[in-house]
Amino acid sequence: KNEVEQSPQNLTAQEGEFITINCSYSVGISALHWLQQHPGGGIVSLFMLSSGKKKHGRLIATINIQEKHSSLHITASHPRDSAVYICAVRPMGSNYQLIWGAGTKLIIKP
Amino acid sequence: GAVVSQHPSWVICKSGTSVKIECRSLDFQATTMFWYRQFPKQSLMLMATSNEGSKATYEQGVEKDKFLINHASLTLSTLTVTSAHPEDSSFYICSAGVVRATDTQYFGPGTRLTVL
């Protein structure tokens, strides 16, 4: 079993739909990252969370440390949101080493 | 937010040549830089961690003599793929770590290497 599990692996939705991507992990962590990777490869760091909830535009990220679970939500999804979304956790005691999820491929159809 | 750049964004080279990839933190000083490799449809794989002014720490299975890392300053790290072969073709991504109250990591846009 991977230490970081994302679900779903693939998600196709219509423009405007509310999107949720989940990340569960099995280790104690000091931080969790949500990243976006577009076709062509470039990675954008969306959020770094250690507790609670963060919002940036149409993106919302939440984390429940006790349940070892985080979600990334996209409201009013748009085709330009199509990308791979990656969850990565920083284990407790680690400076920067990250454990990566496999990613969720999101396709938003117009 | 902090910006990390990589140069070049893509490179095609002949087998046997060496390729240097630069990673720069543009508006902050990065105490630690990381180099990742990503194969198609796979997650990022950490290759090495470099701290400014000291030798890089390589992950198990990564050849030190093959992938030379130099972290010459707090804003620049370079990865040199020596004597490149087609199996080295991959997407290479760097990230830079910032030591603050909340440590974070900023990712470069990546460099796609194709070895013919």
Of B49, B25, B26, B20, the closest CA to residue B36 belongs to B49
For residue A11, name the pLDDT band (cuts at 50, 70, 90).
very high
Q: What is the dihedral of CA B40, B44, B46, B49, to 10 degrees?
A: 120
Chain A segment 50-109 residues within 8 A of B by beta carbon are 50, 86, 90, 95-98, 100-103
Residues of B in contact with A31 (CB under 8 A): 102-104
- Chain B residues lying within 8 Å of A97, measured CB to CB: 46, 49
Mean pLDDT of chain A: 91
Render pLDDT for B19-42 as a digit per residue (tens, 0 to 9). Answer: 999 999 988 888 889 999 988 777
Instruction: Assess whether pLDDT exceeds 60 at residue A15.
Output: yes
At A47-59, the pLDDT tens digits run 888 899 999 999 9
